[in-house]
Structure 1
Amino acid sequence: MRSIIWQSVKQLTSKATSSRWMSQSTSIPRKQVRVRDHAYDDYMEIEKKVRKVVKFQDLILSQPNGIISVLRLDSISRRIGFKQFESGRFVLKFPHVFDVFEHPVQRILYCRLTRKALAQIEQEKAALHRQIPDAVTRIRKLLMLSKTGRVRLEHIRIARKDFGLPDDFESSVILNHPQCFRLFDADETRNKYIELVERDCTLGVCEIERVREREYREKGVDAEEIRFSFIVNFPPGFKIGKYYKIAMWKWQRLPYWSPYEDVSGYDLRSLEAQRRMEKRAVAMIHELLTLTVEKKMTLERIAHFRMIMDLPKKLKEFVLQQQGIFYLSTRGNHGKLHTVFLKEAYRKGELVEPNELYLARRKLAELVLISPRKARMGPELASYRRDGLDDHTRDVGRELDDAYSDENESCSGSDMDESCKSE
């Protein structure tokens, strides 16, 4: 008798828990498994090579006449994380960017940038200078996203390449536009801040609102259906169940406050207000990514703006909750950085609406991706390319050792090479 009663109680509790689970499943799950999209991961793998190439370019351009010996390049590159002999093998991988040649007198190896690489640098500098007015607008909109109308100068300096700002943006962008920005030191700290002089209501329109209007005009979609919705495109292999579809349908129609709207006067204690604030945080990250040149930014840099934009503490989980809007990639830096892509801005690993600065930067990626077999190279470097690029054999270290010994001998026997004396 007791066993029968116990079985009936278990059945009732199982029905109750199942019904309760079904009712909870109508909300979007907090934690989701990240589904990979190879188009974005491949993009970051190329970006990883480009970042290393840019570091070497800066090292070479910092030298007199833009020429540096392989010995000195190896010693300097160790400061940025490269191992011994790794720099020589690295520059030989990209002959369309780096020109490795033998000195006619000293008989040692030197490195410089190719004409194509120098042309790409000049193209990027010109594009960066021409889009300064757009950069001013982006910074103004960034300050309008802040609830205080001010942002730390250091945070913008760290993300200056994302926003398309030159290295001297403090003078060329901020100080040159006193009608828009004001620089000041905080009283409580020694940090510098950029403050917005005056808000412009015409700039307070989110990009997603323009997308909705375009969808309404071009495709004739019902205005009420897309009034608060986002463009959702789930990655391949993402499992969408019945209750998840219901939850997304409800979430897409949930009203929320605009990221440019001041919410300090609202009562945010209710559950409905918290849900609206969560969706507002999605719109905030969406708008922040649209202000970047390549419509992507690392999660670590987004975290710098978390406090001033009222973003959640657990940003990674929050972004993974919206895998149809954002894509989180861990490729490109051994999983140490997390890059957030705006999915609607990309198609097959390329920007749908590329800008001039993005195209100039992609020129360098094209030079990096060209096969080294297509490069014309002297006979003295043929063995270097064959050993260092194709098979990655151990002979590269021995050959570079020979180059090092030749350079040391030339340094000891010659008084006219000032770089040898410094080394």
Structure 2
Amino acid sequence: MLPFFPLRRPFLSPSQTRSFIDARIKWIRDRALDHAVEKEKHLKPFLALKDLLLLSSPNPSSPPPLPLSSISAAASSLSLPFRPIRFLRLFPSAFIERLPSPPSPPHPVISPSPSLVRLHNAELDAVSSSLPDLADRLLRLLMLSPSRRLPLRLIHLLRFDLGLPRDFPRSLLPNYPDYFHLSDSLDLELVCYRKDLAVSAMERYAARTGGYKRGSPLSFSLHFSRGFDLEKKVRKWVEEWQRLPYISPYEDASHLAPKSDLAEKWTVAVLHEVLSLTVGKKMEKEILVSIGEHLGLLPGLRKVIAHHPGIFYVSNKLRTHTVVLREAYRRDLLVEKHPIMGVRYQYIHLMHLAKEIGAKSKDRKSRRGMKPGIGDDAIGFEDSKNDEYDNDDDDEEEDDDDDDEAYGMDSEDEESDDEDEDEGDSSPMQNRNTRKISSSI
């Protein structure tokens, strides 16, 4: 039986039952946080394809080549954005394509590059050393749930964000029988509630800085996009809302009036804690809303996120909406980088290595007056592959433009879109796109 912890229920004054004012809050693009999301483009299918090549081999340090036909057969499970051969050729520094020697049939085979194998081993080491931390994160997530259980399918959706290994039901859960139990209905259940872990990220930070007493007012850190300005009445509401008592997301808040400001502050605390449990401090909005429903949050989470643009930023990059915890980033970099995120950034560098080499090579040749394209074979980056990579980028830029229209975003001129797609842009953030979001409850 789970232990019961008595809760201190704060007194609710009339101001604490007042609902959010009827106002419209602008959405302003934050180019740095957009870049934080966008630089992980294709990372998930890239890692899935890497795992297919290496984890399916009895000798991951020296895996045999895998026929392209086998990759094509598994394409649907890999969630590749387009044809496998086209995807593979985007990353020649990671995947080596060759034809087998006779008398084998002349069908392409794919091998991981030595750099990819080294990074894979580094990732395994990072995950292995982080298993206790990952188990604690998953345990905290179950502790946030009123039922102390979550469907395993939902955990699989959160696997990448939580940094869990791909085979976590076998490699992680059995190692912590005092934490987790997998029911016959495939629900992950909490075995033991650890009170020492029932402390939110905000409370831990406030305790480090000193002067915080449990149940007292605790303000969220606010960061706004450059050029953003709250209306006077909204600013006044935010100031009053920040002074409300902070109720831990690990406490029961069922006694709160559903549409009160205090209930909204507790909801924001839960969303803040969920994002804090992720290694990248961000999550797709639909996944965040889905887990919010399992955590007992009332409908209207999308409006709650829109009410607090100083806490959450919603990026529309990568053909989805991603909620980013603002305080966790300084421009496009994480303030505290988890070891697993450090390895992921190395994967991202490897993914773009061939493109960077090709660009530098063309730049050198243009300075010498040479025709670009001569000698590209020597560095393993053929003209055809380079052209295909560039064409893929162009196609996806058009897709992003279509997404802006689908999501109701104001479109910009072509020059602005080109700048937004440039991952090497180090110019100051410019906020040109604005969108009115209805935020009334």
Which TM bucket (shorter chain)?
0.7 to 0.9
* 1:175 and 2:178 matched: no
Secondary structure at the aligned position of 2:189 is classed as: strand
Contact kept in structure 1, 2:97 and 2:108, CA below 8 Å: yes
* 1:248 and 2:238 matched: yes
* 1:342 and 2:312 matched: no
Aligned to 1:127: 126
Larger mean CA deviation between 287-296 and 298-307 belongs to 298-307
Which of 242, 262, 274 is the aligned partner of 1:288? Answer: 274
* 1:374 and 2:357 matched: yes
CA displacement, residues 334-390 of structure 1 (integer Å, 9 cap, x when unaligned): 2xx321111111112111111111101111011122243626745996343344345
User: 1:55 and 1:29, CA in 2 relative to 1: closer, same or farther beyond 3 A?
Assistant: farther
**1 or 2, which has the higher helix percentage?**
1
Aligned to 1:419: none
* 1:261 and 2:239 matched: no
| CA positional deviation for 1:223 | 8.7
CA displacement, residues 235-292 of structure 1 (integer Å, 9 cap, x when unaligned): 122222322221211111012421111234x3x3486xx2211110000000111111
| CA positional deviation for 1:83 | 8.4
Contact kept in structure 2, 1:103 and 1:110, CA below 8 Å: yes
The 5-angstrom pairing of residues 17-416 of structure 1 reads 27=20, 29=22, 32-61=25-54, 65-70=63-68, 73=71, 77=75, 86-105=83-102, 109-185=108-184, 191-216=185-210, 227-264=217-254, 266=255, 268-269=256-257, 274-332=260-318, 334=319, 337-372=320-355, 374=357, 377-378=377-378, 382-390=382-390
CA distance in 2, matches of 1:357, 1:82: 22
| CA positional deviation for 1:216 | 4.7
Secondary structure at the aligned position of 2:278 is classed as: coil
Report the TM-score, using the length of structure 2 for normalisation.
Answer: 0.70
| CA positional deviation for 1:50 | 1.6
Contact kept in structure 2, 1:31 and 1:317, CA below 8 Å: no
Report the residue type matching 1:347 in the other structure: R
Which one has the largest radius of gyration?
1
Tell me, which stretches of 5 or more residues in structure 2 are unaligned?
Answer: 1-17, 58-62, 359-375, 393-441
Larger mean CA deviation between 361-370 and 99-108 belongs to 99-108
| CA positional deviation for 1:82 | 6.0
CA displacement, residues 303-331 of structure 1 (integer Å, 9 cap, x when unaligned): 23223423232322221211101111121
CA distance in 2, matches of 1:386, 1:349: 27
| CA positional deviation for 1:142 | 1.2
| CA positional deviation for 1:72 | 5.9
| CA positional deviation for 1:146 | 1.1
| CA positional deviation for 1:52 | 3.3
CA distance in 2, matches of 1:83, 1:372: 19
Contact kept in structure 1, 2:253 and 2:263, CA below 8 Å: no
Question: Which one scores higher on RCO, CA 8 angstroms, separation ≥ 6?
Answer: 2
Q: CA RMSD in A?
A: 3.3
CA distance in 1, matches of 2:159, 2:306: 25
Tell me, which stretches of 5 or more residues in structure 1 are unaligned?
Answer: 1-24, 186-190, 393-423
CA distance in 2, matches of 1:380, 1:206: 49
Contact kept in structure 2, 1:30 and 1:317, CA below 8 Å: no
| CA positional deviation for 1:163 | 1.5
CA displacement, residues 118-150 of structure 1 (integer Å, 9 cap, x when unaligned): 111111122111111111211221121111222
Report the residue type matching 2:285 in the other structure: L
CA distance in 1, matches of 2:148, 2:34: 35
